[in-house]
Amino acid sequence: MLSFEINKQTSIIISGEWLKKIADTFYRENKLRGHWYFSLAFVDDKTIKKLNKTYRGKNKVTDVLSFEDNFENFIDLSSKEKYLGEIVICVPQAKRQAKDVGCSLNNEVTRLLIHGLAHISGYDHENVSKIEADKMLRLEKKILIKLKLWDVFKFEEEQIDD
């Protein structure tokens, strides 16, 4: 089971049931076992820019940041749950990207959440081999297909070597 909490620091209307479906699909397709937990925050441009500068040294707005659980006892959970980390999505940037791609904000947030979940589960696409990067992209594609959204984002297929 993959559970989460939501911290809305900026306005967004998105179904909790849809977010749960994304998390459940990710859990199944990534073959996670046991009880896992993550935090999800929706923020504005100013907040994500500050976080990006602080943690990545990049003084610019980005769409999503993810923070794997690298901290002993960072969060106190029941002994049955394992903490994956935190995902921070910039709502204004997601809106801009949705407009550029021609999809809904919900679809773009779905893509960003899947991307963040992949990162906090140990996948990466930066500073790794093409083979490792492709593993992450294939997982994201598999989940988008299960959610019937791959057609919206299949331009990303050009990045994957199958």
CA distances from 26 to 29, 31, 91 (A): 5, 8, 21
Tokens 């046991």 belong to residue: 34
Tokens 């490792």 belong to residue: 132
Rounded CA separation 1/17 (Å): 15
Q: How far is the first Cα of the chain from the last one, in angstroms, to the nearest whole number? A: 30
Q: Is 35 annotated as a binding residue?
A: no
CA distances from 129 to 11, 45, 110, 122, 132 (A): 38, 31, 26, 14, 5
Rounded CA separation 126/107 (Å): 23
Q: Is 115 annotated as a binding residue?
A: yes
Retrieve residue 29's tokens. Answer: 């397709």
Q: Is 119 annotated as a binding residue?
A: yes
The binding site consists of 115, 119, 125
* Bind-site residues for Zn(2+): 115, 119, 125
